[in-house]
Structure 1
Amino acid sequence: MTLKLADRVLGLKPSATVEMTEKVRAARAAGRRVIGLSSGDPNLPTDPRIVEAATRAMRDGDTHYGPPAGSPALREAIAAREARLSGAAYDPADIIVTPGGKFALLAALMAQVDPGDEVLVPVPGWVSYGPCVKMCGGTPVAIDMLDRVDPERIAAAVTPRTRAIIINSPCNPTARVIPADELAAVAALAQRHGFWIIFDQVYGDLVHCGAFHHMQSNETVRDRVFVVDSFSKTFGMTGWRLGYLALPPGTAKSVVKFIQHSIYCLPGFVQAAGLEALSLYDEIVPRYRAMFRARLERAAARLDAVPGMACAMPDAAFYMFPRVDAPDTEVARHWLDTIDVAAMPGSSFGGMGAGHLRLSVTCSDADLDEALTRIARSGLPKAA
């Protein structure tokens, strides 16, 4: 008898961003000088003081099991961070520390979604939203959020099986910051129709233009908002796998059981590093933000001058999402094959991303300038 793996893994598409990272890694191993404009890794060296905090914790013996919800000290610091940035008052008991933002998202969905339930997901949107919904037995329902969050479009997609909506601000891949009135419209719909809100604010510390509005700041929906956040992008800690969930009051006691039966807990020394990172926020984060903003301003202007491309300065993060007058998959393939520049096709993030590219400015300044020069010389591929 031939054994069959479960549909939850057989039916999943691989992560487009991870696949591109592996393709770039293989090309470099073969001797090609590929410049990556495709990665969501900010490529920042973790501050030595953060590394030392982890090392010190290991030397002091913090290498054993810890509380599944996370260390009390880190949860208190995260609650203080939320109060300062979003104005939302969280009890540390309503915070769960997770191995990265992706697991925080998965834990939120596992807490909300039963088999057959529907979750409204943004398109274009992060490549893992839909697969995480499917792993929970749910059905992702794509909602066009390219240029705005349209309450009429959302309302039309709501059914009796709708259990949650995912709202990402600043958005990946577009770097758009969702304004307060659009968040308020989503909040009103969630109250009217009775569904959860997952608010992914992973890029919230890297806003360049205007104000950043948090869904959890709206007290009328605090009892239905799960906040997903991560240390990865803010502090250059992608490999540390450290994130958190901020939950509605009283729900963490149930959700933490998923943590107990899956990962159990995060390493204490990783959490010590996170605590140190939060203490350095005011010193290092403005510097990172300014660096990315300068790169984005330079890159957006140069790309906008390429015939067939239209690129505006993004609101946040380290992504650009230029429109291209050519099939986006063909542009990405052409650049990788002919000029050794890696870019993500916008269609990788859902159908509404077609005709765009997601370009990241996470490489060095020298590599970014070289990549932009190669793109300017090559331009878009000629139609067959």
Structure 2
Amino acid sequence: MPLSLVDRVTSLKPSATVEMTERVRAARASGRRILALSSGDPSIDTDPRIIDAAERAMRGGATHYGPAAGLPALREAIALREQARSGTAYDPNDIIVTPGGKFALLTALMALVEAGDEVLVPEPGWVSYGPCVRLCGGTPVPLALLDRLDLEMLERAVTPRTKAVIINSPVNPTGRVLSTEEISGLVEFAVRHDIWIVFDQVYCDLLHSGRFPSPQALPGGRERTFVVDSFSKTFGMTGWRLGALMMPAGLSKAVLKFMQHSVYCVPDFIQLAGIQALSLYDEVVPQYRETFRRRLETAVAGLSKIDGITTSMPSATFYLFPAIAGDDVAVAKRWLDEIDVSSLPGSFFGAPGKGHLRLSLTCPDADLEEALERIARAGLAA
């Protein structure tokens, strides 16, 4: 009998977002000029001062193994950032620096999920939530949460095997920010059923309007919430792979063993660049946020004139999730094949996303204007 790989990898679907990025890259390599509205990379040039900090660190010898939990100075800076944002005071010892937000998510799930456990997963939602649960031996239980956090649906979905619920706000792919009432209800639900919350707040620095409620800031929430965060979207540092996991007090020593036996540590020179990035927050992030807000307004105005497309301004992120009068997979394929505009079908983010497209407004302004013109000429019909 031939040797075979295990089901936890062979049964996984490839990442739809990564696969589209590779398709766009291949198309461009063949000479096509693709206007990309599909990538979650904000396409912000990393501030030169951040790059300089990394270079100084490398030339200064910060190229060896560092602390598995992360540099104390960076964990302290992350704790200060979170306190300013949510009002939650974290001991730096309750923070682990990770190679990106995705690994922070995987680290949390590895600490919480055992074989046979169930994890409630929002849909439409980030394509890696379910696969990360499965890699940990758990079963993802999808929840249709397109327009609201339906607490009655959570109650129907919970079972004695439910270990955790993943919640993302602001939401990828819709840009929606969960309300105070929704987050409060989430915490009450988690307390009532004695389950963990894994809270993905990677996009919270790209808030265009309103408030940003978080479960870790509420009574009963701090002690059962694992917070996933990242430098990628906020500072244009996607390729640097720098994230963080904030957790309830006293748990990090055990969770850290997963880091020790996997990636070990994030390189010190990247962490020192992260400290520099946080020091620039008040200067650079409002500019990035304004750029994305302006692009969103431009796209909403343009798309709203096209028959069969319905969209509105989201509260955060650089994503639009317009509803379309057509097959989302077919429309996305046609736009890529015929007008060289890439997008992602909403159904790639779960069944409730069917009939929508995710448009990522991370390309230059001129490319966005041209993409909107191409879409307006092509429309939805084949």
Letter in 1 for 2:185: A
1:314 to partner: Cα distance: 1.1
Q: Distance in 2 between matches of 1:100 and 1:156?
A: 33
Letter in 2 for 1:53: A
1:381 to partner: Cα distance: 2.2
Q: How many residues align?
A: 382
Q: Which residue of 2 aligns with 1:183?
A: 183
Letter in 2 for 1:43: S
RMSD: 0.6
Corresponding residue SS for 2:221:
helix
Q: Distance in 1 between matches of 2:220 and 2:109?
A: 21
1:12 to partner: Cα distance: 0.5
Letter in 1 for 2:58: M
1:272 to partner: Cα distance: 0.4
Q: Percent identity?
A: 65
Alignment of 1:65-144 (within 5 A): 65-144=65-144
1:361 to partner: Cα distance: 0.6
Alignment of 1:1-384 (within 5 A): 1-382=1-382
Corresponding residue SS for 1:140:
strand
Post-superposition CA distance 1:313-345 (Å, at most 9, x none): 111100000000000000000100100000000
Post-superposition CA distance 1:233-285 (Å, at most 9, x none): 00000000000000000010110000000001110000000000000000000
Q: Distance in 1 between matches of 2:133 and 2:301?
A: 37
Q: Distance in 2 between matches of 1:125 and 1:106?
A: 16
Q: Distance in 2 between matches of 1:210 and 1:305?
A: 27
Q: Distance in 1 between matches of 2:28 and 2:37?
A: 14
Task: List alignment gaps of at least 5 residues for structure 1.
Answer: none
1:219 to partner: Cα distance: 2.9
Corresponding residue SS for 1:41:
coil
Q: Distance in 2 between matches of 1:143 and 1:180?
A: 20
Task: List alignment gaps of at least 5 residues for structure 2.
Answer: none
1:220 to partner: Cα distance: 1.6
1:212 to partner: Cα distance: 1.0
Post-superposition CA distance 1:112-150 (Å, at most 9, x none): 000000000000000000000000000000011100001
**TM-score normalised by the chain length of structure 1:** 0.99
Letter in 2 for 1:31: G
**TM-score normalised by the chain length of structure 2:** 0.99
Report if aligned partners of 1:330, 1:381 keep a CA contact under 8 Å in 2: no
Q: Distance in 2 between matches of 1:100 and 1:138?
A: 22
Q: Distance in 2 between matches of 1:53 and 1:117?
A: 43
1:158 to partner: Cα distance: 0.3
Corresponding residue SS for 1:85:
helix
1:209 to partner: Cα distance: 1.6
Report if aligned partners of 1:69, 1:96 keep a CA contact under 8 Å in 2: yes
Report if aligned partners of 1:231, 1:238 keep a CA contact under 8 Å in 2: yes
1:221 to partner: Cα distance: 1.7
Report if aligned partners of 1:334, 1:381 keep a CA contact under 8 Å in 2: no
Corresponding residue SS for 1:120:
strand
Q: Distance in 2 between matches of 1:379 and 1:7?
A: 41
Corresponding residue SS for 1:185:
helix
